[in-house]
Chains A and B, each alone.
Chain A
Amino acid sequence: MAGLTPASLTADAPAPAVAAPRKNRPTSPWQEAWRRFRRHRLAVASGVVLLLLIAAVTLGPFIWPVAINEIDFTAKLQGPSWAHPLGTDDLGQDLLARLIYGGRISLAVGLAAMVVAVVVGVVVGALAGMSAGWVDAALMWLTDLFLALPLLPLLLLLMYLFRDHFKRLFGVEGGAFILIVVVIGGLRWMQVARLVRAQFLSLREKEFVEAARALGASKLRLVVGHILPNALGPVIVAGTIDVAAAIIAESTLSFLGLGFPSDIPTWGSVLRDAKDYLDIAPHWALFPGAAIFLAVITINFMGDGLRDALDPRRVL
């Protein structure tokens, strides 16, 4: 039917005539995205599991108020029991309490590092996308250079060189947190920058941007009010996956002994302590590993669902 209607007819028709054939309420892009997201069953299930996980680590200490550093040598290396649902470690400390505490840190690091990466990426990408010529070329050269850098060795190097300094400045826990977040975020912005630049290059030539420019909108207003909101879809997807990558990176650093120290239990540092007791206390390693895996895979599936929902190139 639509093919038979002349294009000019709809354009010339008065507004009520256009609105009349629509039986349903108009759907906003976000409602449309939510409808597409719901179709990805694994993503929805992952969202539920992830929410439960977040609820567990935020509300956990109120339901399970056990100290993370209560040493009890009579109960060391015990498997799961009613007194210790996830067992104990070599000092008899309760693993459930330590994993709840560690989950808060790991998830907070993931989110904060993602925010750093997205902010840096959006700024670099927007600058490169709006300014043609040598600024664009230089920023893209920098992005490609960072993409070619081996991430983990550099993370390790930065942690190795700056760890003590940050510890002195912000304390043991705060220093490690700030350093890890800045370093992981500062080495993961490239994907976002490239996505934002690509979006900007096509969006800035679109008619609605031209219209806004003709109305006298400033460059900042063009970027913040008109271009950026339309470039947000791929950024949200990349940001989601960045959370998972940051959680893996933090756990890897802690596992290798260059992230959080042993007295601050994160999922990675608990796993590092556990790896020497694999033969007599496998539960000690299995629970933090499963926690990391659960967090990462649910976030990755959410990212996949969001890609289906938000990326206009991959409309199903």
Chain B
Amino acid sequence: MSRQYIIRKILIMIPSLLGISLVLFTILAMAPGDPFEELATNPAVPPEVRAALRAKFGLDDPVWTRYLHWLVAMIQGDWGFSFVSRMDVDKLILQRLPVTLIVIGSSQIIAMLVALPVGVLAATRPYSLFDQVANTLAFVGFSLPTFFTGLLFILVFSIQLDWLPFVYRANIDATGWQFYWEHIKQSIMPVMVLGLFQGASLVRFVRSSVLDVIKLDYVTTARSKGIGERKVITKHVVRNALIPVVTLVALQLPIVFGGAIVTEQIFRVPGIGSLLISSMLSNDTPVVMAVTFVIACLVVFFNLLADIIYGWLDPRISYR
């Protein structure tokens, strides 16, 4: 893979980031009312602070200068001050971000662990009973909204069976193995809810991708050389079938972040998703804007990563 390819991809990322910032800013500028209206009624904030904030955010300037000011501030990491948490927004988000990334990352691993074997098995026996059952279960999986699966999991595993805690606690007073075990125990449900939902939609992608590859000539060649069926599938088919799946995983990311918001809210996981909801419910506009922007940037960044991985897996792409 050439360095040129990576640079080109990074350069393509810039206009989409600018576009996203433009969309977000347009929404904010179109919004009725003053974003700092809350402060006027809040007796804890003196009027001079409000005036200073208005001046700082240039609320009386023309739209274009306001956009540029806002953009420059966002790039510099000056994201404002959270009135509810009483700290800088960027610090607040940095505090919450790792939890969200861990939850999303481990749920993606679960999703692949479910989708890969099921999708490959279904594709090697198309229209068999296994294929039909897997297909139906996949439909059930992505038709169950994550908020309902979450509640069902709580009902079964926390209330009926009493195996897992349903409220995520950040401060566990245990040490060593006990500490890690408690953390794993309370992460199982949010990760499974997100992972199974994601896995259900991936099963169909994996299946159709394997079906596309399995009828290619080189697979027939491998078979005719006398290589066992298992080896043909694992060494020859799956490796190539997974290449398009990388892109599909990246394309699903906006949905994954949406699912993460819901699961974090249900299980009270202290990530940026639950931060977004709680800031909205308490009218903390700077945090709301920053979290939305961060999620949008993360999606673009992971898309870039997927593009680069794609180019590395399939060198034909990077020479086009």
Contacts and interface: CB of A to CB of B under 8 A. Distances in A.
Interface in A245-271: 248, 251-252, 255-258, 268, 271
Nearest to B297: A150
Given A156-B280, A160-B288, A271 B148 contact: yes
A271 B292 contact: no
Contacts of B15: 141
A304 B204 CA distance: 12
Contact of B16 (A148, A153, A244, A282): A148
B296 A153 contact: yes
Interface string B30-74: 011100000000000000000000000000000000000000000
A152 interface: yes
Majority SS at the chain B contact face: helix
Given A252-B147, A278-B159, A296-B145, A161 B257 contact: no
Contacts of B154: 278
A11 B261 CA distance: 62
Interface stretch (B112-120, B135-143, B174-182): B135-143
A162 B151 contact: no
A297 interface: yes
A141 B18 CA distance: 12
B27 interface: yes
B282 to A, nearest CB: 11
Interface residues of A, number: 44
Interface string A150-176: 111110111011101100000000000
Interface stretch (A30-38, A115-123, A219-227, A285-293): A285-293
B159 A279 contact: yes
A39 interface: no
A199 interface: no
Given A158-B27, A161-B31, A289-B152, A271 B139 contact: no
B254 A148 contact: yes
11 contacts: A145-B16, A147-B254, A149-B296, A152-B258, A152-B259, A153-B296, A252-B258, A255-B147, A257-B281, A271-B151, A282-B155
Interface of A: 42, 141, 144-145, 147-154, 156-158, 160-162, 164-165, 244, 248, 251-252, 255-258, 268, 271, 275, 278-279, 282, 285-286, 289, 292-293, 296-297, 300-301, 304
Given A268-B147, A296-B143, A304-B139, 12 more contacts: A145-B16, A145-B23, A148-B299, A156-B280, A161-B27, A255-B147, A256-B265, A258-B277, A278-B154, A289-B151, A293-B145, A300-B142
